[in-house]
C-alpha cells in the first residue's frame, strides 16, 4: 500500500512538472515562435543599395545582410532566414554582382533569423564560412543551441526553428582579422545575446576619406534567459558588461545591426535623396552610442527585476 502511495505521489509530481512545462510553452514560447514565423512570412525584398564605397545592403525588409565587394572576391555578412537566401541572391544580382564571386561568408549570431540562409548561400556561392568558436557548434547543429531553455529547444528538436546546417570552414577567436584582398574585417566577440555573438568592424572609403563601420551583434538577452542563478548561460552578466565596454571603445562612423529597423535603414535610405552626400545619413555615431545606451538600460532594468525576484524566494 505504501509503495502505491509513493508511486501515485511520484506520478502526481511528474504531471505537475509536465503541466508547468506545457504552460511555459503555451504562455512564453508559443507567442515568440508564432511572432518569429510571422516575421519570416512578412519578410519581403528590400531594394538593395550602396551604403558607402564597396559596402552594400542586400538583406530583406527586416533581417539584414551586407555585401563587401573587392577585386579578389566578395564578403557577405549574415544569411537571414532560410527563406530569405533567395532574396539576398537576387539583391546581389540586381546590383550587378554574382553570388559565385562571394568567397567569404561571415556569421554574427547562430539563431535562425540570422543564420538560417547560410547553407543555401554557401551552396550557391561556394564561399567559405567563418564562425566564432562558440557559435560554430550551434551552426553545425542547425540552430540547436544548448544555452536555450528547454521549451525553445523543443521547437528546434521538432524541426520548427531548425535550419539547414552550413559547413563550418573556419573558426575564429576574439580579435581575429579576416582578409580577402584589400578587404579586412576584425571580429569582436560581444557575448550576451549568445556566447559567440560577433560584432564586425571594418574600414570603407568614401572618396578621399576613410569611414569606420561596425555591424553590431544583438544586444538583448534571449527570452527566458536568466541573468541570475541558476544561469543556463554561465557568465552572461560578465559578457554583457564586457560587450558594452568593447563597443563603446570602437571608433565608429556608420553602425549596422541584424534587424534593419534598429539602425534606421529605411529612413536613412530615403534621406539619401536630399542629402548633399548620399553617405551622410548613414554617418551616425550618436545613434550608435544611443543604441548601446538603450540596450544597457534594458539589461540593468531586467537584471534588477530578476535579482529582486530571486531574493524574494528566501524571505
pLDDT, one tens digit per residue, over 236-291 is 999 999 999 999 999 999 999 999 999 999 999 999 999 999 999 999 999 999 99
E strand intervals along the chain? 49-52, 55-57, 66-68, 74-77, 102-106, 128-132, 170-172, 177-180, 183-189, 198-206, 209-215, 254-256
Q: Given pLDDT bands bounded at 50, 70 and 90, which one contains residue 229?
A: confident
What does the alpha-carbon distance between residue 118 and residue 85 come to, in Å, rounded to a whole number? Answer: 7
pLDDT tens, 18-27? Answer: 444 444 444 4
Mean pLDDT of the chain: 86
Whole-angstrom distance, CA of residue 255 vs CA of residue 284 = 7
Report the C-alpha dihedral over residues 143, 148, 152, 156, rounded to 10 degrees.
Answer: 20
Q: Parse the chain into domains and list their residue ranges.
A: 45-312
Q: How far is CA 278 from CA 49, 59, 207, 255, 270, in A?
A: 11, 19, 12, 16, 10
Mean pLDDT of 41-67: 90
Predicted confidence (pLDDT) per residue in 73-113, tens digit: 999 999 999 999 999 999 999 999 999 999 999 999 999 89
Residues in the chain: 315
Tell the CATH superfamily of the 45-312 domain. Answer: Ribonuclease Z/Hydroxyacylglutathione hydrolase-like (3.60.15.10)
Confidence (pLDDT) at 21 = 43
CB 117, CB 88: distance < 8 Å: yes
Q: What is the pLDDT of residue 149?
A: 56
Tell me whether the omega of the peptide bond preceding residue 230 falls within 30 degrees of 0, making it cis. Answer: yes
Residue-wise pLDDT for 187-217, tens only, equals 999 999 999 999 999 999 999 999 999 999 9
Amino acid at each position: 500500500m505504501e509503495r502505491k502511495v509513493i508511486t501515485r505521489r511520484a506520478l502526481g509530481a511528474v504531471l505537475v512538472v509536465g503541466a508547468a512545462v506545457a504552460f511555459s510553452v503555451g504562455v512564453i514560447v508559443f507567442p515568440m515562435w508564432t511572432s518569429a514565423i510571422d516575421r519570416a512570412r512578412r519578410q519581403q525584398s528590400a531594394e538593395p543599395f550602396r551604403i558607402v564605397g564597396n559596402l552594400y545592403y542586400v538583406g530583406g525588409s527586416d533581417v539584414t545582410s551586407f555585401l563587401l565587394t573587392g577585386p579578389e572576391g566578395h564578403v557577405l555578412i549574415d544569411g537571414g532566414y532560410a527563406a530569405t537566401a533567395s532574396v539576398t541572391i537576387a539583391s546581389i544580382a540586381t546590383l550587378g554582382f554574382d553570388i559565385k564571386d562571394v568567397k567569404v561568408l561571415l556569421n554574427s549570431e547562430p539563431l535562425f533569423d540570422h543564420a538560417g540562409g547560410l547553407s543555401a548561400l554557401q551552396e550557391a556561392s561556394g564561399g567559405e564560412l567563418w564562425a566564432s568558436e562558440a557559435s560554430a557548434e550551434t551552426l553545425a547543429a542547425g540552430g540547436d543551441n544548448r544555452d536555450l531553455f528547454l521549451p525553445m529547444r523543443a521547437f528546434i528538436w521538432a524541426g520548427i526553428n531548425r535550419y539547414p546546417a552550413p559547413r563550418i570552414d573556419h573558426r575564429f577567436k576574439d580579435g581575429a582579422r579576416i582578409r580577402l584582398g584589400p578587404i579586412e574585417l576584425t571580429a569582436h566577440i560581444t557575448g550576451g545575446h549568445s556566447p559567440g555573438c560577433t560584432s564586425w568592424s571594418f574600414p570603407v572609403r568614401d572618396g578621399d576619406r576613410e569611414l569606420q563601420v561596425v555591424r553590431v551583434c544583438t544586444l538583448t538577452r534571449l527570452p527566458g534567459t536568466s541573468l541570475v542563478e541558476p544561469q543556463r548561460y554561465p557568465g552572461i552578466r560578465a559578457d554583457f558588461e564586457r560587450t558594452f565596454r568593447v563597443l563603446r571603445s570602437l571608433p565608429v562612423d556608420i553602425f549596422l545591426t541584424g534587424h534593419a529597423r534598429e539602425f534606421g535603414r529605411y529612413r536613412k535610405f530615403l534621406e539619401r535623396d536630399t542629402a548633399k552626400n548620399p553617405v551622410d545619413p548613414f554617418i551616425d555615431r550618436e545613434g550608435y552610442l544611443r543604441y548601446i545606451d538603450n540596450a544597457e538600460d534594458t539589461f540593468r532594468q531586467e537584471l534588477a527585476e530578476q535579482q529582486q525576484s530571486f531574493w524574494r524566494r528566501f524571505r
